[in-house]
A = this chain, B = another copy of it.
Amino acid sequence: MNARSTTPAPPAKAPHAHSSAWAADLLRAQIASGELLPGTKLSEQALAESLGLSRNTLRESFTLLDSELIITRIPNRGVFVASPDADDVREIYAVRRTIEPACLAWGPNVDLSALSAIIATARKAHAADDVAAMANANQEFHKQLVLTSGSSLLQELMGRVLARMRLVFHAMSDAPDFHSHYVEQNATLVELLSAGKRQEAAQTLRGYLDMAEAELLRHLADRA
């Protein structure tokens, strides 16, 4: 009854170099990729054993991941991969609706060519029907957008928010394709930016985010 059934023997192990951070990175990646699905319980004993480190060290990793909202820690019950609900979706979009338009309107470091490049990638993925690549490009677009603010703290926050978005998608993997709609919306934003209409771009983005939130909430409600 291991939390992870894929590693019978201790996997590639980092003997003495920030083991707790290393484990946190590993778990973060596995959760982001969908290898560990929302709601999965992470047993301390089993995980520590399979990762080849002690419970205490693993506990430090959990403390970190908990502060990133990637896992949920219930006292005396254990840790679980976070499974965002409707309220979390609203929280996510409240953040995005604040930060992203602000970057469009006032960010000092707009990089139009980088944004255009990402859109080109997304269009290619769309043509090839590669949903995963498209989702990736979409997230990349919004990351690049926040980079505009010149703040690594905001960048981090956005990274965490987008990680939570991925959890939402993983939790409803049978949902229709959300991402294809947004490729052209992003293109519209870049056009507005190129024309110097930054306030208008910000306003437009807010509208897009409202629509996306509503669509997600609708699908979450349907399956409840």
- A211 CB to nearest chain B CB (Å): 16
A: number of interface residues (CB 8 Å): 32
Number of this chain's copies in the complex? 2
Interface: A206 (CB within 8 A): yes
**A212–B52 Cα gap in the complex (Å)?**
50
Contact B75 A151 (CB under 8 A): no
Q: What's the dominant secondary structure at chain A's contact region?
A: helix
**A152–B42 Cα gap in the complex (Å)?**
26
Q: Which residues of B contact A154 (CB under 8 A)?
A: 94-95, 98-99
- A114 CB to nearest chain B CB (Å): 18
Interface: A186 (CB within 8 A): no
Query: Which residue of B has the minimal Cβ distance to A24?
Result: B63
Among A103-136, those with CB < 8 Å from B are 103, 105-107
Interface: A139 (CB within 8 A): no
Query: Which residue of B has the minimal Cβ distance to A88?
Result: B153
Query: Which residue of B has the minimal Cβ distance to A94?
Result: B151
Interface: A157 (CB within 8 A): yes
Contact B106 A149 (CB under 8 A): no
Contact A98 B67 (CB under 8 A): no
Interface: A200 (CB within 8 A): no
The 10 closest A-B pairs by CB, nearest first: A94-B151, A102-B102, A67-B67, A63-B63, A98-B102, A98-B149, A60-B63, A94-B150, A95-B151, A56-B56
- What are 21 A-B contacts with C-beta separation under 8 Å? A56-B56, A56-B59, A59-B60, A60-B60, A63-B64, A67-B67, A67-B68, A94-B153, A94-B154, A95-B149, A95-B151, A95-B154, A98-B102, A98-B106, A98-B107, A99-B102, A102-B102, A105-B105, A106-B206, A153-B157, A157-B157
**Chain A contact residues, CB within 8 Å of chain B:** 18, 20, 56, 59-60, 63-64, 67-68, 75, 91, 94-95, 97-99, 101-103, 105-107, 149-154, 157, 161, 199, 206
